[in-house]
Amino acid sequence: MKLFKKIDVNGDNEHPLFSYLKSCCPPTRDYFQEATKLYYTKIRVNDIRWNFEKFLVNRQGVPVMRYDASANVTYMRQNIDQLVNS
């Protein structure tokens, strides 16, 4: 039994949710790995670089922050606390 469906976060077949998230927050970096290590086409600067990249979304469903895979958890917690308490 298959429990999960593959969802593309970049490329020609990216899911509309990820298109929306990426349109609201700037990219975390301005560079990529070697193109030979990427498994999709139509590479754009706003693409998600790694599967541990995160988005912080407010109560209205609007993305307010985007974090790199190497983001410091303390920094993210401060942003979350600020958002929750506003």
What are the residue ranges spanned by the domains of the chain?
Answer: 54-86
Residues with Cβ within 8 Å of 35's Cβ and at least 6 positions away in sequence, in order, are 43
Give me the pLDDT at residue 43, please.
79
How much is the pLDDT for 22? 95
Tell me what pLDDT residue 24 has: 96
Confidence of residue 33 (pLDDT cuts 50, 70, 90): low
Count helices and strands (H / E) in the chain: 2, 2
pTM summary value: 0.80
User: Do residues 58 and 64 touch, judged by C-beta distance below 8 A?
Assistant: yes
Q: Per-residue confidence at 6, pLDDT binned at 50, 70, 90?
A: confident
Tell me: pLDDT of 69 over 90.
no
Residue 55 binned pLDDT confidence (cut-offs 50, 70, 90): very high
Joined tokens for residue 58: 């407010």
Per-residue model confidence (pLDDT) at position 42: 75
